[in-house]
A and B are shown apart, each in its own frame.
Chain A
Amino acid sequence: DSGVTQTPKHLITATGQRVTLRCSPRSGDLSVYWYQQSLDQGLQFLIQYYNGEERAKGNILERFSAQQFPDLHSELNLSSLELGDSALYFCASSAQGAGPYNSPLHFGNGTRLTVT
């Protein structure tokens, strides 16, 4: 158990809808990262937050947004959903974030999103 909690585990919704994925990082971790994993794309970095502030952005669509709250949990909002958004969405956390120092990312079990 990595200590990172993601809810829900599974989500089935229709095209055009909006969903919210939730992540609680490991105790003490200030950084939260969101990744998308589809069969043909591998793990794609979406966005990183550090202590409530956005710190790095990847290939995140404009229809997607995220935030990190004062209690350090994070939410990823996906709107105007398309069939191609069907994927596993992982949240990860680490102790550090903004600097050049490194600590490994610890991943949650993911949310499997199916858009029909």
Chain B
Amino acid sequence: GQNIDQPTEMTATEGAIVQINCTYQTSGFNGLFWYQQHAGEAPTFLSYNVLDGLEEKGRFSSFLSRSKGYSYLLLKELQMKDSASYLCAVKLYVYNQGGKLIFGQGTELSVKP
């Protein structure tokens, strides 16, 4: 089966750095996405990794190690508006059967003043 694990909740302080980890065990791996979702709203795309290494995008960075089935999302200079759920999602691809994006349960991040 497909399994994606991430911590349920995290708390951090405004201005600090936080790292949200994600481990996965899937077949047909074809990339890993991070999404941000505020309560009751649509998920919004943050980053994408398909090769090992670090992708940096402003205050957000994402890392992937395919051999370890591991990724993390790094958020720097935290702001109150970063309080949200962060979803790790793995793109699965099976030839002639299309692709699915499978999501983890999400990590609820609370940023405190």
Question: Which residues of A come within 8 Å of B, CB atoms?
Answer: 2, 4, 33, 35, 42-45, 48, 50, 55-56, 58, 88, 90, 97-100, 102, 104-110
Contact A48 B45, beta carbon cutoff 8 Å = no
Determine which of B40, B45, B98, B99 lies in contact with A106 in the assembled complex, contact meaning CB atoms within 8 Å.
Answer: B45
B residues less than 8 Å from A97 (CB atoms): 98-99
Cα-based distance from A56 to B89 in the complex (angstroms) = 16
By DSSP majority rule, is chain B's interface helix, strand, loop, or mixed?
Answer: strand
How many Å from the CB of A43 to the closest CB on chain B? 4
Measured as residues with beta carbon below 8 angstroms from the partner, the interface class of chain B is: 20 to 34
Choose among A35, A50, A100, A106 the residue that contacts B93 (Cβ–Cβ < 8 A). A100
Cβ contacts under 8 Å, B103 to chain A: 35, 42-45
Known: A44-B103, A48-B100, A90-B43. 5 other contacts (CB 8 A): A43-B89, A56-B100, A102-B50, A105-B101, A106-B45
